[in-house]
Amino acid sequence: MALNAQFARWLGARFKARTRRRRAPLELRWRTPWHVWQGASWLASTLLAPPFFVIGVLLLIDAHSDSPYFWPSTMAVVAATNVFAIVDANQRHHRKPYGSRVQVALRYFGISALVGGALFLLLVWGTGVLQNVIGPLLPSAGTHRAAGPAGTLTELQWAVGATVVFCMLSFVHACVLHAWLAFEVPVWYRISRGTVSLDRARNTQSDVRTPDSN
C-alpha cells in the first residue's frame, strides 16, 4: 500500500509539472536589431520568389516582349505585397503578440495571398496578357478577343488558375522566412519547457555581451 501511495504521489507530481509546462505562456518577440531583420526578411522573401527572379533574369536578357507593362508590374506586385504583409504582421504582433511561428506564417500568407492575388488578377485582366500567352487555347470567332460567354468563362478560369499559382510561388516561402527571420522564441520560455538549460542560457548571454565589452 505504501508503495502504491508513493507511486500515486509521484505520478500526480509528474502530471502537475507537465500541465504547468504546457500552460507556460509564449509570446514571440522581434529579433534585434529590428530594422535589420525586417529588411532582411523583405529582401529574402522578394528575391527568392520565383516569379520575381525568373522575370528579372529574363528581362535582363531581353527586355522586349508582347506585354511590356505586365512583367515589370508583376515584380512590383511581389515586392509591394511583401511590404504590406510585413507591416500587417508587425501591427498584429503589436496589438496581440503571436504565440508561435505558425501563427505568424498563417497571418502573413493570408494577407499576402489576398492582396497579392487581387493585384495580380487586376493586372492580368487590365493588360490582357492571357491573349498573348494562351490565345490559341481560348475559343474565338476570328477576333482577337475570346467570343461569347464560353470564351469569357475560359479566360476567367485561366486567370484564377494563374493567380493561385502566382500566390503559391510568391508567398509560401515568404511567410516561413518572415516567421523565422523576424521573430524569435524568448530564452526564458525555452528554459521553462526544458529545451534549454539555465547554464546554457547564461553562457549564451555572456557570449553576446563579450564583444560589447571589448
User: Which pLDDT score is estimated for 64?
Assistant: 83
Each residue's pLDDT tens digit, 52-63: 999 999 999 988
What is the model's pLDDT at position 213?
Answer: 44
| Residues in the chain with pLDDT values less than 70 | 1-25, 134-151, 187-214
- Percent of the chain as helix, strand, coil, to the nearest 5: 75, 5, 20
- Which three-class secondary structure state does DSSP give residue 100? coil
Provide the pLDDT for residue 9: 64
Domain ranges, ordered by start, for the chain:
29-203
Q: Which pLDDT belongs to residue 93?
A: 94
Count CB atoms within 10 A of the CB of residue 35.
8
Which ranges constitute the DSSP H helices of 62-197? 70-95, 101-127, 129-133, 148-181, 187-193
DSSP state, residue 88: H
Whole-number pLDDT of residue 141: 43
Instruction: Give the whole-angstrom CA distance, residue 161 versus residue 168.
Output: 11
Q: Are 158 and 130 in contact (CB under 8 A)?
A: yes
